[in-house]
């Protein structure tokens, strides 16, 4: 049936009055009543939410301009309450209405966690079947998901849901937190869902029931080593929430234990899902072989599977998790943590780039570094450019100074462009770096328009009065990229010298991070850093200039 034309015309008439005469409490209050009545019908909810969004915008405007400020402030809370059964973010905000700002969970964290909240909304709205969330430790990911399951309980008290983790201690925490959110008067769950009451609970079994008619609990919280068969059911409108399947660092380093954990996940937890059940998996990404990594590898091209990853530090090397009221973690904290931790552990645990130690092709301890001072002797400067065309790839252009023999001499890398920007960003950068480093030869990979890119750079350099040997060549199809990287890896590790970490620019650092996380076992999201070095080495081996002298013929 939807919304009748009469109701729509009534709402539009009030909006026209507001647009003509200005924001006022009475008109907005009447509009909220219309939206709330309409939203009692399922097929009118989306229309009603558009109206409530308009009301909130008007309230914000009125409060900012001191128009009916106090009544509009109260009306904004009423609007959030009206939206809360349907919008997860409104539920989060209204649930903490009675808490002082510095004790609230979501408001201080909203800037960073908003994207995750939107992901969870899409999961509940049926746009996704699976959501994987990877954030650094102790930034609020588990608490956010506990709020989410509490919201789901209010929306579907007859559903059967299960929460699990690597231990019973985690299950105890889940059980206690959901009980607190639904029962404690500090939160407003009973205002949002007045008809949803706790009917039965069992601290021994970690079960909460909000429906007297269902044989299984609305929520069961149990460690993966607990009893599941015959005791737990996940209904077709319910959720399996899995949090931190990997117990600790020691377990993350054992491929056998990770495989056993993954099989437990499939045979113990997933086995309890009914057709239609959705899944939420949260965890610190330790290793590409952990359960979340395995699910991602198997479903990375499925649009109904989403994997949200937020690293500790952003592209400017600043904290993503410095929350309001002193909550969260500062940039200085993460910089200190990065300096103290093993490189791979930092990248996995804090930057959401999991590793597999036994498969690393360029581990840091096998690379050569120098202090920025070149040795004495003649050298030639070369640069190889792997042009990027989107998809998360980066233009990779290392500059190398090759000493001695073309086949065996050392190559020093004083500079490295590693930039994800489009051609309008990278062309000026490439031109400037070439003018700065003055390479004797530059080679571009010509695939997908790289030849045109190379010609453009050549023209820009000549306009600046700098001439060099610019060439381009399409990538060979005779050997796969991974095989080529593996083939040249020993020479790169033996011959190449990289700037010491403290001397590297931000782009140089990003290139090195990607290089040192490159694996020959498993999958690599990007290979720009490694491939750029291979192209540079090929250029040096095959195209270095030789010194020529004219001599008299002996005959």
Domain identity same for 159 and 113? yes
Q: Within a domain: residue 552?
A: no
With beta carbons less than 8 A apart as the criterion, state whether 308 and 133 touch. yes
Specify if 330 maps to a domain.
yes
- CA separation for the pair 381, 76 (Å, rounded): 64
Residues 309 and 165 in one domain: yes
What Rg, from alpha-carbon coordinates, does the chain have? 30
Render pLDDT for 370-401 as a digit per residue (tens, 0 to 9).
Answer: 999 999 999 999 999 999 876 678 999 999 99
Instruction: Evaluate the CA torsion angle 457, 460, 461, 462 in order and state its sign.
Output: positive
For the chain, how many structural domains are there in total?
3
- The average pLDDT across 325-347 equals 90
Query: How far is it, in rounded angstroms, from Cα 341 to Cα 318?
Result: 18
CA dihedral of 53, 58, 62, 64, whole degrees rounded to 10: 60
- Domain with 442 in it: 364-543
- Read off the pLDDT of residues 531-550 as tens digits, 9 standing for 90 and up: 999 999 999 998 433 333 44
Same domain, 442 and 532: yes
Query: Strand pairing of 411-419 and 161-165?
Result: unpaired
Domain of 170, CATH number, reads: 3.40.50.300
- For residues 140 and 151, the answer to whether their CB atoms sit within 8 Å is no
Q: Calculate mean pLDDT across residues 155-159.
A: 96
Query: How far apart are the C-alpha atoms of 311 and 514, rounded to whole Å?
Result: 14
If you search the block for the tokens 């954030």, which residue do you land on? 135
Residues 170 and 206 in one domain: yes
CA–CA dist 54, 111 (Å, integer): 21
Does residue 270 belong to any structural domain of this protein?
yes
Concatenate the DSSP letters of all residues of 112-136 into one string.
HHHHHHHHHHHHHTTS-SEEEEE--
**Residue 352 covered by a domain:** no
What is the structure's pLDDT at 227? 84
In a domain, 459, yes or no: yes
Helix, strand or coil for residue 524? coil
Cβ–Cβ < 8 Å for 419, 394: yes
473 and 434 both lie in a single domain: yes
Same structural domain for residues 78 and 117?
Answer: no
Residues 23 and 128 in one domain: no
Task: Note whether 55 and 119 are same-domain residues.
Answer: no
159 & 62 share domain: no
Residue 540 CA from chain centroid, whole number: 37
Half-sphere exposure of 528 (CA within 13 A, CB side): 28
How many C-beta neighbours within 10 Å does residue 451 have?
17
Q: How far is CA 330 from the centre of its chain?
A: 19
Instruction: Look at residue 457 and tell me if it is in a domain.
Output: yes
Q: Which helix (H) or strand (E) holds 508?
A: helix 506-516
Question: Which pLDDT score is estimated for 547?
Answer: 38
Residue 503 located in a structural domain: yes
CATH number, domain containing residue 537: 3.30.420.240
Q: Cite the DSSP H helix spans in 23-109.
A: 25-38, 45-64, 69-83, 88-95
Dist CA 88 CA 404 (whole Å):
64
177-231 pLDDT per residue, tens: 999 999 999 999 999 999 999 999 999 999 999 999 888 999 999 988 888 877 8
Mind listing the pLDDT tens digit for each residue in 451-506? 899 999 999 999 999 999 999 988 765 567 888 999 999 999 999 999 999 999 99
pLDDT per residue over 233-256, tens digit each? 999 999 999 998 777 766 776 777
> Do 455 and 487 sit in the same domain of this protein?
yes
d(C-alpha 144, C-alpha 147), whole Å: 5
Phi first, then psi: what are they for 144, rounded to 5°? Answer: -60, -40
CA distance 81 to 93: 9
Whole-number pLDDT of residue 553: 47
Same domain for 482 and 534? yes
Task: Answer yes or no: pTM beyond 0.75.
Answer: no
Structure tokens at 87: 């919008």
Examine the domain organization and report whether 396 and 464 are in the same domain.
yes
- pLDDT (0 to 100) of residue 429: 96
Of 61, 138, 103, give the one whose Cα is nearest residue 328. 138
């Amino acid at each position: 049936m939807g919304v009748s034309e009469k109701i729509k015309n009534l709402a539009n008439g009030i909006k026209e009055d507001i647009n003509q005469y200005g924001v006022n409490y009475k008109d907005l209050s009447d509009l909220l009543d219309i939206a709330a009545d309409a939203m009692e019908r399922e097929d009118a909810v989306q229309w009603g939410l558009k109206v409530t969004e308009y009301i909130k915008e008007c309230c914000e405007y009125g409060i900012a301009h001191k128009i009916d400020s106090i009544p509009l402030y109260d009306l904004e809370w009423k609007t959030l309450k009206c939206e809360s059964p349907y919008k997860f973010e409104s539920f989060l905000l209204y649930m903490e209405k009675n808490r002082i700002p510095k004790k609230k969970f979501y408001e201080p964290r909203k800037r960073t966690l908003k994207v995750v909240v939107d992901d969870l909304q899409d999961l509940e709205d049926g746009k996704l079947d699976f959501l994987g969330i990877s954030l650094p430790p102790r930034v609020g990911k588990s608490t956010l998901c506990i709020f989410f399951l509490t919201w789901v309980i209010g929306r579907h008290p007859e559903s059967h849901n299960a929460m699990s983790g690597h231990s019973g201690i985690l299950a105890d925490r889940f059980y206690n937190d959901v009980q607190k959110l639904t029962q404690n008067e500090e939160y407003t769950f009973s205002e949002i869902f007045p008809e949803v009451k706790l009917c039965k609970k069992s601290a021994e079994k970690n079960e909460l029931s909000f429906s007297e008619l269902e044989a299984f609990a609305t929520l069961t919280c149990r460690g993966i080593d607990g009893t599941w068969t015959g005791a737990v059911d996940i209904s077709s409108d319910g959720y399996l929430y899995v949090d931190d399947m990997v117990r600790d660092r020691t377990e993350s380093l054992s491929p056998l234990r990770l495989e056993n954990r993954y099989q437990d996940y499939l045979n113990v937890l997933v086995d309890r899902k009914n057709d239609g059940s959705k899944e939420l998996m949260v965890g610190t990404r330790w290793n590409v072989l952990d359960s979340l990594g395995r699910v991602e590898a198997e479903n990375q091209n499925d649009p109904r599977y989403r994997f949200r990853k937020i690293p500790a530090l952003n592209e400017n090397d600043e904290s993503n998790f410095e929350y309001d009221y002193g909550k969260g973690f500062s940039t200085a904290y993460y910089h200190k943590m990065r300096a103290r931790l093993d490189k791979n552990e930092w990248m996995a645990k804090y930057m959401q780039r999991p590793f597999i130690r036994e498969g690393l092709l360029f581990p840091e301890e096998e690379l050569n570094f120098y202090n920025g001072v070149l040795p004495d002797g003649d050298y030639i400067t070369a640069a190889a450019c792997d042009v990027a065309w989107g998809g998360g790839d980066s233009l990779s252009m290392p500059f190398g100074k090759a000493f001695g023999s073309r086949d065996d001499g050392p190559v020093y890398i004083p500079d490295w462009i590693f930039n994800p920007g489009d051609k309008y960003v990278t062309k000026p950068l490439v031109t400037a770096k070439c003018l700065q480093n003055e390479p004797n030869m530059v080679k571009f990979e010509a695939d997908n328009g790289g030849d045109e890119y190379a010609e453009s750079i050549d023209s820009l350099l000549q306009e600046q009065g700098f001439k060099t040997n610019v060439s381009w060549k399409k990538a060979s199809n005779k050997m796969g990229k991974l095989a080529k990287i593996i083939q040249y890896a020993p020479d790169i590790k033996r011959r190449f010298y990289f700037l010491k970490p403290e001397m590297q620019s931000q782009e140089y650092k990003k290139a090195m991070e990607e290089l040192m996380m490159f694996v020959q076992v498993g999958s690599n999201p990007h290979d720009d850093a490694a491939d750029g070095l291979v192209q540079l080495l090929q250029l040096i081996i095959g195209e270095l200039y030789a010194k020529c002298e004219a001599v008299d013929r002996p005959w």
